[in-house]
Amino acid sequence: MSKFQPVSFYKNKKKTYQLTPFRFLKFNQEKYFLSNMTGEYLLLDRESLGRLVEHRLDDSEQSYLDLRAKQFLIDDTNSIATDLLAIKARTRYSRLPEFTALHIFVVSLRCDHSCQYCQVSRQSADKLKYDMTEEIADKAIDFAFKSPSRNIKIEFQGGESLLNFPIIQYIVERSKKLNEVLCRNLDFVIATNLSMIDRDILDYCRLHGIHISTSLDGPEDLHNKNRPRPGKDSYEKVIKGISLCREVLGRDEVSALMTTTEASLKRGKEIVDEYLKIGFSGIFLRSLSPYGYAIKTKSFAAYQTEQWLDFFKESLDYIIELNRSGIRFQEYCSAIVLSKMLTSSDPGFVDLMSPAGIGISVIVYNYDGSVHPSDESRMLAEMGDNTFKMGNVLTDSYEQVFSSQALLQPLEDSYTNSVPMCEECAFEPYCGADPVYEYAMNQDYIGRRPESGFCQKSMGIFKHLIERMEADPFVKNLFMDWANRK
């Protein structure tokens, strides 16, 4: 007797199958895109899709085998499919019970830059009243450690956070002291434009394991145009700062973020080249958001979503060609999406989560003690709109803040499985809810999907990634690598 079953063993003897939950959308003129509840996908022609749903697909067809392999259907040969789907679903949602891991402390609203697009409504550098005090810091630290999350990341933001370095030191030292008892995985990040970084600050960062995150918008002229400061030397300072950070902290302890302005749109390749030149191994292609000064100075309205998508696609295609030529370089926004498309895990990126990441994944303690469920909602508050303000650490308890309707209502309303069109969208497993964006644009937490810039941008990214990897085996391999790289 053979150790192996004959091919006939794997035939679907009952000739019947059951559909598992899946969604579909028209992908192009030939194909429909199908995805299941765990994010696995298939492309199928419309005729086969119709036959699948009407139970007329034959088990000898390749599409039948593909659908069965990815648990879109269950027959008498893959009864384990239900268990597999459950395991993958559990893995995908495993972050949810962890709750808030990222705690942003806005230590000062003061800043030495006056960026047109600044998402923070900065105050001038001489107003000490816009700095976080020790009293507020103490309360905010207590809130952070009330989170059930095993991982607590404290990120210092501004304004320019280093304008209030003493409070950063105070928060780091008090948190570490508390953590001797509470034993969380505690990390620190300083978000800074690096204009006032020096060796003393970096020695302190090295001693306490603090990571540095900065802004680099591209080549010198573009960076300085986007990020004006007295002396017009923002680029020079950030490049020197990155170099010093690497010297003192190590190469991987400093990262950079770029923001796309109207002036960046035609310069994708140059921006990528700049990141390569400076020695970064990847870039996060980031569009402007409709918050803070970006609205006030109309820089948000300076370009349309379609223009940004063209920029994104051109830059990504260039990065792919760099990799094909042997230069390892990553696009981080794509990597996050690909992780959701090609693995069972969810990286927990705030903008692409449902339930929305606000409050659940990130929380912001403003310099004045007010608590906001995301950096973007804090920016709305700085512009006078307190819709998302959850309370204040000085006057409210942790329980009062996290059960605030300012958090719960947008979370409930924007849950994608309940939002018109999102609930049936085949891209939903990769997408998320962004009630703050929708509120900033439409004054409600959902908006209309056909008119939503968030939806248009997300769908554009998803489609491009799928088109690229379906058409080119090299890209598929590259994307698999990005999806699995931690």
Partner 1 sequence: MEGVVVQFDLGVFSVEAVKKAAYKYINKFSTDFALQGQSIVCSLIFTQNTPQDSIQFYIDDFRKEVLDQDLREKIKKESEPLRNLILAHAFSKTTLVEQ
Residues that bind partner 1 (CB under 8 A): 18-24, 26, 37, 49-50, 53, 74, 82-83, 85-87, 89-90, 93, 96-97, 420-421, 424, 448-451
Token readout for 217 is 């918008």
Distances (CA, A) of 138 to 210, 394, 396, 398: 19, 10, 14, 13
Identity of the residue numbered 485: R
Minimum distance, C-beta of residue 36 to partner 1, in the bound complex (Å): 10
Measured from the CB atom, the residue of 141 and 455 that comes closer to partner 1 is 455
Going by the DSSP 8-state scheme, the letter that residue 397 receives in this structure is -
Could you give the CA distance from residue 156 to residue 201 in angstroms, rounded to a whole number? 14
Measured from the CB atom, the residue of 41 and 275 that comes closer to partner 1 is 41
Measured from the CB atom, the residue of 22 and 188 that comes closer to partner 1 is 22
CB 242 within 8 A of CB 194: yes
Measured from the CB atom, the residue of 30 and 321 that comes closer to partner 1 is 30
Measured from the CB atom, the residue of 86 and 128 that comes closer to partner 1 is 86
Could you give the CA distance from residue 480 to residue 466 in angstroms, rounded to a whole number? 12
Residue with tokens 């849950």: 415
* Cross-strand bridge partners of residue 188: 154, 210
Minimum distance, C-beta of residue 101 to partner 1, in the bound complex (Å): 17
Minimum distance, C-beta of residue 291 to partner 1, in the bound complex (Å): 24
Minimum distance, C-beta of residue 263 to partner 1, in the bound complex (Å): 29
Minimum distance, C-beta of residue 47 to partner 1, in the bound complex (Å): 12
Minimum distance, C-beta of residue 31 to partner 1, in the bound complex (Å): 13
Could you give the CA distance from residue 52 to residue 56 in angstroms, rounded to a whole number? 6
Could you give the CA distance from residue 42 to residue 125 in angstroms, rounded to a whole number? 54
Measured from the CB atom, the residue of 18 and 397 that comes closer to partner 1 is 18
Minimum distance, C-beta of residue 93 to partner 1, in the bound complex (Å): 7
- Residue 189: closest CA among 125, 112, 102: 102
Going by the DSSP 8-state scheme, the letter that residue 32 receives in this structure is E
Measured from the CB atom, the residue of 37 and 111 that comes closer to partner 1 is 37
Q: What angle do CA 21, 26, 27 make, to 5 degrees?
A: 105
- Give me the DSSP letters along 346-381: ----GGG-SS-SBTTTEEEE-TTSEEESSHHHHHHH
* Cross-strand bridge partners of residue 33: 25, 43
What is the dihedral sign for C-alpha 482, 287, 41, 44? negative
Minimum distance, C-beta of residue 370 to partner 1, in the bound complex (Å): 29
E runs forming strands in 393-465: none
CB 429 within 8 A of CB 405: no
Cis peptide leading into residue 373 (ω within 30°): no
Minimum distance, C-beta of residue 53 to partner 1, in the bound complex (Å): 5
- Residue 378: closest CA among 82, 100, 119, 14: 119
Measured from the CB atom, the residue of 50 and 279 that comes closer to partner 1 is 50
Could you give the CA distance from residue 414 to residue 418 in angstroms, rounded to a whole number? 7
Measured from the CB atom, the residue of 213 and 361 that comes closer to partner 1 is 361
Minimum distance, C-beta of residue 27 to partner 1, in the bound complex (Å): 12
Minimum distance, C-beta of residue 13 to partner 1, in the bound complex (Å): 21
Measured from the CB atom, the residue of 74 and 342 that comes closer to partner 1 is 74
Measured from the CB atom, the residue of 35 and 121 that comes closer to partner 1 is 35
Distances (CA, A) of 6 to 2, 11, 163: 9, 10, 72
Q: What angle do CA 389, 395, 398 make, to 5 degrees?
A: 70
